[in-house]
A = this chain, B = another copy of it.
Amino acid sequence: MSVDSETDIPEVLYASLTDSVRRLVDATIRSRAELATITSAKAKIDAVADELSRSMMPGSFGIQSAADGQSRVWGNAVIGLRNALAPPLVVHHDPDGRVWADVTLGAAYEGPAGHVHGGICALILDHVLGATAHKPGRPAVTGTLSLRYEGGTRLGPVRAEAHIDRVEGVKTFAVGHLATPDGVTVRAEGVFFHPRTSPRDA
């Protein structure tokens, strides 16, 4: 069982805590509870946040090395195991270089009524296209990203996929799309690269 090397806390417990927070985020949007319940919920959440905050890593999670040599990005906004904002995306790398992820997007990802926010589509496509250029411990960063919205993306099951179109020097040109059971909804292309010195965006 994988544990955090610093605290000896099993990875699955962090994942489970984050799932609970994710469910709370959803309930905070959709609850029809009465005033007394909302008031008491807030007090209880504050108390839990106080307990968790007694000892915190400064700044952000960043990239941490685990005992097994793997690097952990548990705070990442798209794939982070401890980030309740992340759907989270589980990114698959096929042997032929294709990258894909299946995810179900609920109420927290809404833009137009019943549909995924256009910017959330961009967030997911940025990550999945960028993943085509990832190397272990050396994530790629975004140079450019272009998106064409062909239709609304309904909340619910969504697939994102991408592949490398070509590589020119340090630049990886990736293309991909987002699809729902209705078909392709957003197409994307982007240029990604590995920064020489400090990390930039991806």
* A residues at B contact (CB < 8 Å): 6-9, 13-14, 16-18, 20-21, 23-25, 27-35, 37-42, 44-49, 51-57, 59-63, 74-78, 80, 82-85, 106-127, 130, 139, 141-149, 151-153, 155, 185-186, 198-202
From known contacts A119-B78, A147-B144, infer whether A27 and B41 are also in contact, taking CB-CB under 8 Å. Answer: no
Contacts of A51 in B (CB 8 A): 33, 37, 40-41
Min CB–CB distance A110 → chain B (angstroms)? 5
Listed A/B pairs (6) with beta-carbon separation below 8 Å: A24-B45, A31-B55, A63-B112, A85-B108, A122-B123, A141-B152
Min CB–CB distance A118 → chain B (angstroms)? 3
Given contacts A17-B38, A17-B45, A146-B146, 11 further A-B contacts (CB under 8 A): A24-B45, A28-B52, A29-B83, A38-B52, A77-B109, A118-B130, A120-B123, A122-B123, A122-B147, A144-B147, A145-B146
Verify A48–B41 contact, CB threshold 8 A.
Answer: yes
Contacts of A111 in B (CB 8 A): 76-78, 201-202
Verify B60–A106 contact, CB threshold 8 A.
Answer: yes
Judged by DSSP, the binding face of A is mixed
Q: How many monomers of this protein are in the complex?
A: 2
A45: contacting residue among B20, B109, B118, CB under 8 A:
B20
Contacts of A60 in B (CB 8 A): 29-30, 106-107, 110, 113-114, 155
Contacts of A148 in B (CB 8 A): 143-144
Contacts of A123 in B (CB 8 A): 117, 119-120, 122-123
Contacts of A74 in B (CB 8 A): 29
Q: Give complex CA distance A110, B123 in Å.
A: 12
Contacts of A121 in B (CB 8 A): 201
Min CB–CB distance A162 → chain B (angstroms)? 13
Contacts of A46 in B (CB 8 A): 20, 23
Contacts of A34 in B (CB 8 A): 7, 9
